[in-house]
Amino acid sequence: MSSWHEFTQQAPELAQFGQSRFENGVAYLGTIRPDGGPRVHPVTPIIGKQLFLFMEPTSPKGKDLQRDPRYTLHCAVEDSGGGSGEFYVRGQATLVQDPALRAQAVQAASYSPADRYILFVLTVDFAFMNVYSEGRVNPQRWQNGE
C-alpha cells in the first residue's frame, strides 16, 4: 500500500494528472454497503503527502469504510465526451485520530473542515487515467508493486 507521496514518487505524471482532476471539484467515492452492494458518494478529496477525506461522523460512507476499508475514488467528468479526462484510484481507507495528520489535512484542504468531521487517510494501490483526444482513448495504469 502506498501513500499519495509514494505514489507521486513512483508515477509522477499520473499523480500530477490525478491531483489536477481531484482539485477540479467533486469526486465520487465508492464504498461497500453492509449487504455487499456498492454505494457512491460525492466527496472533496484533499491531497497533501497523503490522500485525505473528511466527513460527517454519521455519514454512511464513513461507516462503510470503518467496516470494510476498500474504496475507489473517481474524478468528476465534465461531459459525455470525457471532458479533461478521467482519473481514479483505489486502495484502503484508515480512520485517523492523529492530531498531526489532521493538521496536515486541514492545511492542505481547500475549505475549512469542521472540528466534528472525522478524517480518513486513503492508500493508493491502483491508479488509472484516460484522456480522450480526437476520438482516441489514451489510458495509463499504475499498480503498487509493479
Higher per-residue pLDDT: 138 or 90: 90
Q: pTM for this one? A: 0.93
Cell numbers 475507489 correspond to: 72
Contact 46, 15 (CB under 8 A): no
Amino acid 81: pLDDT: 72
| Domain at 4-143, CATH class | mainly beta
Contact 127, 88 (CB under 8 A): yes
Which residue, 128, 118, 105, is CA-closest to 51?
Answer: 105
43 — pLDDT class (breaks 50, 70, 90): very high
Q: What gap in Å lies between CA 38 and CA 32, rounded to an integer?
A: 5
Q: What gap in Å lies between CA 72 and CA 125, rounded to an integer?
A: 10
146 — pLDDT class (breaks 50, 70, 90): confident
pLDDT in tens, 92-113: 999 999 999 999 999 999 999 9
